[in-house]
Copies of this chain bind each other. A is one copy, B any other.
């Protein structure tokens, strides 16, 4: 298995990427080769310094870098020798099986949509985040920002995508699926929620348990929660502040509050596209990089994208 890692992504690139790579290689002993893509002269000495086992990596030189404030589509088009452009080229040509970057999010999305493309039948690829629950389990919330205006059929597809990600990557057996809403009963909510409910109820490929509310997100009510990307993004960013609060109040050692630290998330997977792509947080540290690589490995190991292809090829879903 070959995993592509953008060495130039993240506010502390390439140091934290290198440290994360080291953590990953120390932890994971399976047959994985890491394709380290970036400005070679900027990180090869660091590889030696951090005693990275050179037999388990492959250095791919990418002389250009896409910055955080560059226009995504324009930068990707003009900087064909950037780590992100080369990463997508390697992914689409099959030289790597997954691509992970903490770089320019917009460029990662544009690259995914135009180079990797949506799986047939998937109307809207989506991004998801994990939500730590009080009982120690992990839930999944989607969409968290890729699709700000949604139709009911989009949410229904998010449910299928999230359900499979929860099973195959998070390892949740028979995940329960809930619709984010402002009341428990069917018929509650805004127009989108009201019209989505019956679709989810009739969807035989998921275990729909009904509406869940804001207070249920950290409770053990549903493993997978679907919503539009506007609401989901607000929740994602609010959930991240729970760890900020912990730090501010000097409670960051609390076992539960610490689980809201972004480093535990790894990256944000793009679901519904033909190959595994993971986008990391700009402020990613070594642990975040390690977890993002591990996520990529899990997506490849579980053959996640082919499972999605089959699911959307069957009549059940479409």
Chain B nearest CB from A221 CB (Å) reads 12
Number of identical monomers bound together in the oligomeric complex = 2
Chain B nearest CB from A218 CB (Å) reads 5
Whether A182 and B214, one on each chain, are in contact in the complex, defined by CB atoms closer than 8 angstroms, is no
Q: Select which of B215, B233, B234, B244 is within 8 A of A240 by beta carbon.
A: B215
Alpha-carbon gap, A242 to B242, bound state (A): 8
Q: Given contacts A248-B256, A254-B249, is CB(A214)–CB(B235) below 8 Å?
A: yes
Segment from A72-80, A186-194, A279-287, A307-315 that makes contact with B: A186-194
Q: Tell me which residues across on chain B come within 8 A of A214, comparing CB atoms.
A: 233-241
Whether A241 and B257, one on each chain, are in contact in the complex, defined by CB atoms closer than 8 angstroms, is no
Which size class do A's interface residues fall under?
35 or more
Q: Does A5 contact B (CB under 8 A)?
A: no
Q: Does A61 contact B (CB under 8 A)?
A: no
Q: Does A230 contact B (CB under 8 A)?
A: yes
Residues 29-64 of A at the B interface (beta carbon under 8 Å): none
Nearest 10 pairs of A and B residues by beta carbon: A214-B237, A214-B238, A148-B190, A182-B233, A214-B234, A215-B237, A190-B230, A149-B190, A215-B241, A213-B237
